[in-house]
Amino acid sequence: MKVLIVGAGIIGSIYGWAFAQAGHEVLHLVRPGKAAQFADGLKLDMYDARKRRPNQFIGRYAIRLTETLQPSDGYELILVPTKHYHLVETLQQIVPLAGEADFLLLTQNWGGTQAIDAILPPSRYLYGDAKAGGAFQNGVLVATIAGVDIGQVGGRQTECLKKAEALFKSAHIPATVHANILHYLWVQYALTGGLWPALVRAGSFEAVLRDAQTGRQAMQAARECLRVIAGRGVQLKQYPETHMYLNTSPLAMWIAGLVIQLMFRFNKVVQRSSAHGLGDAKEVSVFFFDLLNAGREQGLPMPAMSGFEPDIRKFAGGVA
């Protein structure tokens, strides 16, 4: 399959490497003048958690780049791993040049899809949530890949979805298909937006694990954020990852805290996926205020989230 990936960032490079290893023709679209930076390829230290794959890859990704896009290029699928608040602008630039390509939007969602549907027919795109991540360290992408969650809005199952499933399957990347991908993304939005403030206050994952009070406030903040998306119609019982945050018994909260500690201390996938946690102050701020303001609009009590507001404003330089 001929695949285009927008950019050569962390998520795009991880999946691009996996697709290229599976024999697909993969190119990364970068800004004019940037391709020369990758003349020697991209150094990788990859913890590979896919089934039937070795656990470690240390070497180079012979990344192929292009600085132009034309309708005649013949791409079958275009991956767009970008911040969700940049998505509309990115699609406005790329869709007119994409020919008949379908799109995999590897990003979050909070505001729905009306603006996207005005640019790209719903039958030609699906959303994806990366089960991968990492960070650049001394010129090396130290990362992990485990799987992906995908789905089309409205439960559609067009050729676009089938194409993406086939691509991931060929690269031995487990793909979980969600009938209601927006609700799934909102669950991830709530959990991320509720837990990030504790990381901001403490300064590191290790510090959060040592600070019991901040950890408890983070659990409460995540619970408040889950109530926000429940107000949007999300059936939280359908998402097992929410259960440990919703049970308020002391024993359940102690077990949840222990589980989180164990994941961050010993699970390499979690460790590497979370390595970029404080890399973008704007992203942290957008998540936080989207959830806090939505909760206030619904009339929900948000004491834990409100308690983190000074930390987020300071971290983001006063951004509201």
Specify the domain boundaries for CATH 3.40.50.720 within the chain: 2-179
Tokens of 18: 């996996």
DSSP reduced 3-state for 94: helix
CA angle 246, 250, 251 (to 5 degrees): 90
* CATH of span 183-315: 1.10.1040
Instruction: Report strand pairing: 140-151 vs 56-61.
Output: unpaired
Q: Where is 217: in which H helix or E strand? A: helix 212-230
Q: Where is 133: in which H helix or E strand? A: strand 125-137
pLDDT tier for residue 161 given thresholds of 50, 70 and 90: very high
Specify the domain boundaries for CATH 1.10.1040 within the chain: 183-315
Nearest CA-CA partner of 164 in 153, 155, 178, 175 = 175
pLDDT tier for residue 202 given thresholds of 50, 70 and 90: confident
Percent of the chain residues past pLDDT 90, beyond the cut? 72
Chain segment 78-91, per-residue pLDDT in tens: 999 999 999 999 99
Q: What is the largest CA-CA distance in the chain?
A: 61
What average pLDDT does the segment 4-28 reach?
A: 97
What average pLDDT does the segment 214-243 reach?
A: 94
The whole-number pLDDT of residue 270 equals: 56
Chain segment 104-146, per-residue pLDDT in tens: 999 999 999 999 999 999 999 999 999 999 989 899 999 999 9
The whole-number pLDDT of residue 174 equals: 95
pLDDT tier for residue 75 given thresholds of 50, 70 and 90: very high
What average pLDDT does the segment 253-278 reach?
A: 59
Question: Tokens 């939505």 map to which residue?
Answer: 294
- 3-state secondary structure string across 263-311: HHHHCHHHHHHCCCCCCCHHHHHHHHHHHHHHHHHCCCCCHHHHHHHHH
DSSP reduced 3-state for 152: coil
Tokens of 316: 């983001």
Class of the CATH domain delimited by 2-179: alpha beta
What average pLDDT does the segment 224-228 reach?
A: 97
What average pLDDT does the segment 223-235 reach?
A: 97
Tokens of 256: 């949840």
